[in-house]
Amino acid sequence: MKRWSGSVLKGTGSVPGPQNFPRSGKGIRILGVDPGLLSTGFGIIEIEGDGSSLYCGSGVIRPRARQSFSHRIQQIFRGLSKQIENYAPQLMAVECPFFAKNVKSAMLLGQMRGVAILAAAEAGVEIQEFSPLEVKQAVVGYGRAAKEQVQAMVRSLLQTPPNLATDAADALAVALCLAHCLSWQKSLETIVPKQLSPRTSW
């Protein structure tokens, strides 16, 4: 089942997107976010009861480059808040880079990530952060995989539209990382009680 919404959002103040996007059932909806200084990608997936992942939508928020930094992060906040309103996710996964070209870039990127976290917190959405290494390990199985490998796996796993933007693919990979963690947690919740249960005496 494919559900496509591949709009690319620019910093115009108005953010298009589906209204009250219907859930397919009792699945868990995850919003993945890939913060960036020039653009922020987002992607929404829904995890079904059988563990399968459905693609719900994605896009890129691109504030105008000539805007002041304060106005750019405002656009990111408003854009993500609108997507949270549209898709009503229960969880948000945010990529947390552990390096940058310089200290200034690291600080600015941290502020972009903080804006994404604030948008989720304001809406009461639970937040998880993952490093690029964790995302690559979860999606590809190799923490040093190239970005192209990650994006190809995202397209294969979610059957995304062919014109999927790079930043949106990265955000979907972050969402899949959280989904992978949830599946492991569910497995442990099933296995551990069995291991702790008293053995039958013969």
Write down the pTM of the prediction.
0.80
Per-residue pLDDT for the chain (202 aa), expressed as one digit of tens each? 333 333 345 433 333 344 445 555 578 999 999 999 899 999 999 998 888 899 999 999 999 888 999 999 999 999 999 999 999 999 999 998 766 567 888 888 889 999 999 999 999 999 999 999 999 999 998 888 888 999 999 999 999 999 999 999 999 999 999 999 887 555 445 444 444 445 444 3
Give CA–CA dist 147/140, Å, rounded. 10
Angle in degrees, CA 125, 16, 159, rounded to 5: 75
How are strands ordered across the β-sheet holding 9-10? 9-10, 53-62, 40-47, 28-34, 91-95, 126-130
- What residues are annotated to the active site? 34, 95, 167
Instruction: Report, at the CATH architecture level, how domain 9-191 is classified.
Output: 2-Layer Sandwich (3.30)
- Taking the CA atoms of 179, 180, 182 and 186 in sequence, report the sign of the dihedral they define: positive
Exposure string for 53-70, b = 16+ CB within 10 A, e = fewer:
bbbbbbbbbbbeeeeeee
CA distance 99 to 194: 42
Q: Give the SS3 label for residue 119.
A: helix
Distance CA 67, CA 5 (A): 27
- CA gap 146, 163 in Å, rounded: 20
How long, in residues, is the chain? 202
Instruction: Compute the 3-state secondary structure of the chain and give helix, strand, coil in percent, each to the nearest 5.
Output: 45, 20, 35
Each domain of the chain, given as residue ranges in start order, spans 9-191
Q: Which bin fits 124, alpha (ψ -120 to 50), beta or left (φ > 0)?
A: left
